[in-house]
Amino acid sequence: MSSDSEAVDLLELSAATWRPSALHGVDRVWPETNCYVDLWVELLPALGHPVEAALSFTVLQDFEGDQFTFFKFPLQDLQALFGLAVQELALYESVEAQAMAQLRRGRPVLVEVDAFWLPDAGDAYRKAHVKTSVAVIALDPGRKRFGYFHGTGYRELSGEDYDGLFRQPTVLFPYAEFVKRDGEARAGHELLDASLTLLRGHLTRRPRKNPIEAWQAALPSHVERLAGQDMAYFHLYAFNGPRQLGANFEMLGTYLQWLGANGVDGLADAAATGRRIAEAAKTVQFQLARMVHRRKFDADAVALAPLAADYDSVFAALAARFA
Write the pLDDT tens digit of every residue in 111-120.
999 999 999 9
Domain count along the chain: 2
Mean pLDDT of 4-30: 93
Residue 268's SS3 state is helix
DSSP state letter for 34:
-
Q: What angle do CA 179, 149, 271 make, to 5 degrees?
A: 90
Contact at 8 Å (CB) between 292 and 255?
Answer: no
Residue at 203 is within a domain: no
* Closest C-alpha among 306, 314, 315, 317 to residue 216: 306
Percent of the chain with pLDDT strictly greater than 70:
98
Bridge pairing between strands 176-180 and 145-150: unpaired
- Could you say which of 163, 180, 197 is where a domain stops? 180
The answer to whether residues 151 and 225 belong to one domain is no
Distances, alpha carbon 176 to alpha carbons 106, 113, 150, 173, in Å: 16, 9, 15, 10
Contacts of 321 (CB under 8 A, 6+ apart): 264, 266, 267
Q: Which is more confidently placed, 173 or 8?
A: 8
The answer to whether residues 293 and 156 belong to one domain is no
The answer to whether residues 58 and 162 belong to one domain is yes
Among the ranges given (133-137, 164-168, 212-216, 224-228), the one the predictor scored with the smallest mean pLDDT: 164-168
Categorize the per-residue pLDDT at 6 as very low, low, confident or very high, splitting at 50, 70 and 90: confident
Q: What is the pTM of this model?
A: 0.94
Categorize the per-residue pLDDT at 170 as very low, low, confident or very high, splitting at 50, 70 and 90: confident
Write the pLDDT tens digit of every residue in 45-104.
999 999 999 999 999 999 999 999 999 999 999 999 999 999 999 999 999 999 999 999
DSSP state letter for 105:
T
Categorize the per-residue pLDDT at 172 as very low, low, confident or very high, splitting at 50, 70 and 90: confident
Mean pLDDT of 297-304: 95
The answer to whether residues 140 and 233 belong to one domain is no
Question: Which residues form the domain of 127?
Answer: 4-180
The answer to whether residues 51 and 144 belong to one domain is yes
Mean pLDDT of the chain: 95
Residue at 200 is within a domain: no
The answer to whether residues 156 and 223 belong to one domain is no
Residue 239: count of CB within 10 angstroms of its CB: 16
Query: How far is residue 230's CA from residue 106's CA, in Å, rounded to a whole number?
Result: 46
Residue at 173 is within a domain: yes
Query: How far is residue 118's CA from residue 129's CA, in Å, rounded to a whole number?
Result: 10
The answer to whether residues 163 and 215 belong to one domain is no
Mean pLDDT of 147-173: 92
Residue 153's SS3 state is strand
